[in-house]
Chain A
Amino acid sequence: MSHLMAAEEGASPLIPNGWEILITALGFVILLYVVIKFIAPTFEKIYQDRKEAIEGGLAKAEKAQAEAAAARDEYNQQLESARLEAQKIREEARGEGEKILAEFKERASSEAARITENAQKTIDAERSAALVSLRTEVGTLATELAGKIVGEALDDDQRSQRVVDRFLSDLEASQQRNAGASR
């Protein structure tokens, strides 16, 4: 039993050594200071930096995606507007073509009318000219002929004119008579 007694004789393990308390306190406080001052801020900063880097990357990706979507929308819009534009141009061109065609048709027909008219006029003029010249020539020829036949110089213009007129009216009268007879 002696050894058991010896154990009991020693100081109770629950009685602290004051110096040990002091040294433990000192050590703990020093470590706490180092942790608060250096270790914790460093690790917090590492976490924060990493979080920011990841969030920054995500934000950047999101931004790029939004930009791409915007570009695609713009492109689609442009495509649509280009399509509309093309359709408009096509319609315009068609209208224009029709207008030009109509104009040409009109112009051609008016030209044709004008040409016809001109031709008519020329014909008329030529006919009247021919009529006049024929009348004069026929008069002259007839006068000459009559002169020769009558043997009478019909130099006096006035008289010859009168003779021609009388002859012509006689001619016309005979023609009318003939026409009336033949009817």
Chain B
Amino acid sequence: MLETGLVVAAFTPPTVEDMHLPPFFEIGSFAFGKQMLLVLVSVIVVAALFLFAARRRAMVPGRWQFAGEMGYGFIRNSLAKDLIGVHEFKPFVPVLFTCFYFILVNNLWGSIPVLQLPSFSHVGAAYFLAAFAYVFWVGVGIKRKGLGGFMKSMTMPSGVPWFFYIILIPIEFFSNLIVRPVTHALRLFATMFAGHLAIMVAASLTGFLIADMGGIGYGVSIFSGIFGIFLFFLELLIQVIQAYVFTLLFAVYLQGAVAEAH
């Protein structure tokens, strides 16, 4: 570290450890932490909002019902119906709907002061959801086409000369059945994790500049503060986009599982 004289205290950037606050309580090895609480609260929030919106089942919707219908119709029509197809999409609407709003609310926790922790910045949550999606769409594919037919549709794209299959089968197998779930999980986790970390760094730097530097620190803190706010809104955008992307990819995988080979 350079001896500039200005540095009166060393800045310690926040680390991964700061994303894992001490648990609220522990029972043996079970430590109930903030992330878990937020996940459970998100379940209540999503369920309550949509149940409340749909409580009247009115032919002419009120404001809440209209919003609920928009939220439901968004996943049902512009995601499930458009991607999976008019004849096949119906049974997959609930799972896609749950996926999207579960992820959305859990991501948005990251932008609500005090709560401020996207649940999927803890990798376990992302692993679970990607694993669930993987088991679900692979299951649907095997049920529809049988194990052989499903494997064929996943690894042997049609319209390719036979000798290309020597190379294509391993590549397709690897990319469709091994890489897919990993990227599905890591994309969500990484964006939430990195965004949260970036905001933490910007915020703690601003705090450090104001509290521990004094003088020039006040001036510089304006930039880091503005940057932090910019990051906050960027992260807000990413939180919504990633919820959509995860669900979109899930729907694309499902479409691949139900589609007839052509």
List the interface of chain A (C-beta within 8 A of B).
3, 6-7, 10-11, 13-21, 23-28, 30-32, 34-36, 38-40, 42-47, 49-50, 53
Q: Are B15's CB and A6's CB within 8 A?
A: yes
Query: Within 8 Å of chain A (Cβ to Cβ): is B63?
Result: no
Q: How far is the CA of A13 from the CA of B123 in the complex (A)?
A: 7
Contacts of B115 in A (CB 8 A): none
Q: Are A27's CB and B102's CB within 8 A?
A: yes
Q: Are B94's CB and A40's CB within 8 A?
A: yes
**Distance from B49 Cβ to chain A, minimum over Cβ atoms (Å):** 10
Query: Within 8 Å of chain A (Cβ to Cβ): is B164?
Result: no
Q: Are A7's CB and B16's CB within 8 A?
A: yes
Q: Are A25's CB and B128's CB within 8 A?
A: yes
Q: Are B31's CB and A32's CB within 8 A?
A: no
Name the 5 nearest CB pairs between A and B, nearest first: A16-B124, A20-B124, A24-B125, A21-B124, A7-B15
List the interface of chain B (C-beta within 8 A of A).
10, 12-13, 15-17, 19, 29-33, 35-36, 39-40, 42-43, 46-47, 50-51, 54, 57-59, 61, 65, 68-69, 72-73, 76, 93-95, 97-98, 101-102, 119, 122-125, 127-129, 132, 193
Contacts of B101 in A (CB 8 A): 31
Contacts of A45 in B (CB 8 A): 57
**CB within 8 Å: A-B pair count:** 125
A-B contact pairs, 15 of them (CB 8 A): A10-B17, A14-B123, A19-B30, A20-B39, A23-B36, A24-B129, A25-B128, A32-B94, A32-B95, A34-B43, A35-B97, A35-B98, A40-B93, A44-B93, A49-B57
One of B30, B58, B73, B124 near A24 (C-beta < 8 A): B124
Q: How far is the CA of A14 from the CA of B121 in the complex (A)?
A: 10
**Nearest residue, chain B, Cβ from A31:** B43
Contacts of A53 in B (CB 8 A): 59
**Nearest residue, chain B, Cβ from A3:** B12
Q: Are A42's CB and B102's CB within 8 A?
A: no
Contacts of A42 in B (CB 8 A): 51, 54, 57
15 further A-B pairs in the complex, CB-CB below 8 A; given A19-B30, A23-B39? A3-B10, A20-B125, A21-B127, A24-B125, A24-B128, A27-B43, A28-B129, A34-B43, A35-B94, A39-B72, A42-B51, A42-B54, A43-B54, A45-B57, A49-B57
Known pairs A32-B95, A39-B97; A15 contacts B17 (CB<8 A)? no
One of A16, A27, A38 near B40 (C-beta < 8 A): A27
Known pairs A10-B15, A16-B127, A31-B47; A25 contacts B30 (CB<8 A)? no
Known pairs A32-B95, A38-B51, A39-B72; A20 contacts B35 (CB<8 A)? yes
Q: How far is the CA of A44 from the CA of B50 in the complex (A)?
A: 13
Contacts of A16 in B (CB 8 A): 122-124, 127
Contacts of A31 in B (CB 8 A): 42-43, 46-47, 98, 101-102
**Distance from B18 Cβ to chain A, minimum over Cβ atoms (Å):** 10
Contacts of B68 in A (CB 8 A): 43
Contacts of B31 in A (CB 8 A): 19
Contacts of A28 in B (CB 8 A): 43, 98, 102, 128-129, 132
Known pairs A16-B127, A27-B102, A32-B98; A39 contacts B51 (CB<8 A)? yes
Q: How far is the CA of A44 from the CA of B80 in the complex (A)?
A: 14
Contacts of B36 in A (CB 8 A): 19-20, 23-24
Q: Are A3's CB and B13's CB within 8 A?
A: yes
**Distance from B219 Cβ to chain A, minimum over Cβ atoms (Å):** 24
Contacts of A39 in B (CB 8 A): 47, 50-51, 54, 72, 94, 97
**Nearest residue, chain B, Cβ from A52:** B59
**Distance from B102 Cβ to chain A, minimum over Cβ atoms (Å):** 6
Most chain-A Cβ atoms within 10 A of its Cβ — which of B59, B73, B94?
B94
Contacts of B72 in A (CB 8 A): 39-40, 43
